[in-house]
A and B are shown apart, each in its own frame.
Chain A
Amino acid sequence: MNKLDKTTIICRCEEISCEEVEEVISNGGRTFDDVKRITRCGMGPCQAKICTSMVAEIIHQQTGLSPSEIPLPRMRMPLSPIKLETLATNSTSFSAVKSVLDEVELEEGKVR
């Protein structure tokens, strides 16, 4: 871990360097998810499986937070990429999902 220099690639999927991670922390970021949102580190196909511990190490070195105080990245379903058709059920009735036009309401034949 002491071998990281500024150009070391921390996130291979999105090609994010050590320097980019460090900049987020120096601007006030404190968690993996702060780093993720600003740099895209951990947003690629591996979903942070490679970079988590290296980012935690950088946060630890820059802020002095102990590893137990650094929250893990929020893990996102489906954890490993799966095809959209695996999730689809082929139903065409919707409840929570809407179309924008459905929200347009007519009142006496006119748009509200």
Chain B
Amino acid sequence: METNYETIVIGGGVVGSGIAYHLSERYKEGVLVLDKKYPMSGTSGSTQAWVWVHNKTPSWYAEFSMYSAELYPYLSKKIGDVEYKRTGGLSPFFNESDREKAEKLAESYRKIGIKIKVLSREEVLEKEPYMNPEVAGATYSSIDGNVNPFRLIDMYMRAAKRNGVRYSTYNKVTEIKKQDGKYSVVSDKGAFECKNLILAGGTWSREIGDMLGVKIPVNQLRGQILVSEPLKPFLNFTISGLRQANNGEVLMGYSMEEAGFNRATTLDVIQETANMAVQYVPGLRKAKIVRAFSGIRAMPEDGFPILGKVPGHENLYVAATHSGVTLSPLIGTLITELIMDGETSIPIDRYSLRRFG
């Protein structure tokens, strides 16, 4: 295998593969993606894969997410059907006291062009007839949706490979050195050299940064999800907490635990998830659960994406974020612009690693 590349991307998940694909659209120099296992074996393969905008705060982060969601229909046209559906997103609440918070959210978003409606109980039931009739209301936005994460990453990989990107999988990076203006990336399958190095290691960003003496403050957050047997299509929207996939399966779960890299599923959180699901959609009581799975999400210390040039290191870039599925088309576009043009079409200074001092 060739050992010299213009650009190496460490990490082949939704963020790394998204960057590799977008780079390959404009850039015919050598690009190599290194993955310690096979893409989708980490966070990108264990998610409900909402493309979610409307409850992100502050509003500038919601706006950033909105730009990415806007790219999805175009992305599907370019790389193939990734089962992206802009269903609209519904966040139900069960206490009338939450309505004020919902109204405040809608008000603060009106200024940036994200239209949120605060629905009454009747309006929720009209949109989603299987929702618990005890629901008090919901926030609703038409921009939200979901995607099939497996198809998304598979299609990114296929399209990138067609454009000349190389993938080396089951190949863990063990050491990174800077020599004569180039990066030397030592891996289980040998050493590779490159000019541009992109760190897209997701949950492992901290460990990869350490290899270069760069502190990338990304922690781990576990989420557990239940999957039902295929059911006839009956849910119309992406509900915050559950969604129905194309094949009829319902995916349920929205949990957060600090458990390091431990990917076990646990009975207490499975039970809470079951309680949440029957509270939202009581008709699911009789649905059969086929499996439970858990995933470890990357969570930067302040919750926001870490994007762009690594200060003080020439030709070194980082992309580490929560909500990688939502943000991947935008991050791929922006990192490509940064490398090719030296600037980005929308500002990303706010997301610089510099903010951590």
Tell me if chain B binds chain A.
yes
- Residues of chain A whose beta carbon lies under 8 Å from any beta carbon of chain B: 27-31, 33-34, 37-38, 40, 43-45, 47, 76-78, 81-85, 87-92, 94-101, 103-106, 109-112
Q: Please determine whether A78 and B289 come into contact, CB atoms closer than 8 angstroms.
A: yes
Which one of B58, B276, B287 contacts A97 once the chains associate, using CB atoms below 8 Å? B276
Secondary structure type dominating chain A contacts: loop
- From 279 to 296 in chain B, residues with beta carbon under 8 angstroms from any chain A beta carbon are 279, 284-293
CB distance from A87 to the nearest CB of B (A): 4
Q: Please determine whether A85 and B278 come into contact, CB atoms closer than 8 angstroms.
A: yes
Given contact pairs A47-B290, A100-B240, A101-B139, enumerate 13 new A-B contacts (beta carbons under 8 Å).
A31-B38, A43-B291, A83-B288, A88-B278, A91-B271, A91-B272, A94-B272, A96-B268, A97-B254, A97-B269, A99-B92, A104-B55, A111-B107
Q: Is B257 an interface residue (CB 8 A)?
A: yes
Q: Please determine whether B256 and A101 come into contact, CB atoms closer than 8 angstroms.
A: no
Q: Is B93 an interface residue (CB 8 A)?
A: yes
Cβ contacts A to B, 26 pairs, < 8 Å: A31-B38, A34-B38, A43-B291, A47-B291, A76-B265, A76-B291, A81-B290, A84-B289, A85-B286, A87-B271, A88-B277, A89-B271, A90-B275, A91-B272, A96-B224, A96-B256, A97-B272, A97-B275, A99-B91, A101-B93, A101-B102, A101-B240, A104-B101, A106-B104, A111-B58, A111-B105
Q: Please determine whether B254 and A98 come into contact, CB atoms closer than 8 angstroms.
A: yes
CB distance from B284 to the nearest CB of A (A): 5
Query: What is the bound-complex CA distance between A78 and B71, given in angstroms?
Result: 38
Q: Please determine whether A84 and B255 come into contact, CB atoms closer than 8 angstroms.
A: no
CB distance from A105 to the nearest CB of B (A): 7
**Inter-chain contact total with CB atoms closer than 8 Å:** 152
Q: Please determine whether A112 and B285 come into contact, CB atoms closer than 8 angstroms.
A: no
CB distance from A31 to the nearest CB of B (A): 7
Q: Is B344 an interface residue (CB 8 A)?
A: no
Contacts of A44 in B (CB 8 A): 290
Q: Please determine whether B292 and A78 come into contact, CB atoms closer than 8 angstroms.
A: yes
- From 136 to 180 in chain B, residues with beta carbon under 8 angstroms from any chain A beta carbon are 139, 150, 154, 157, 167, 169-170
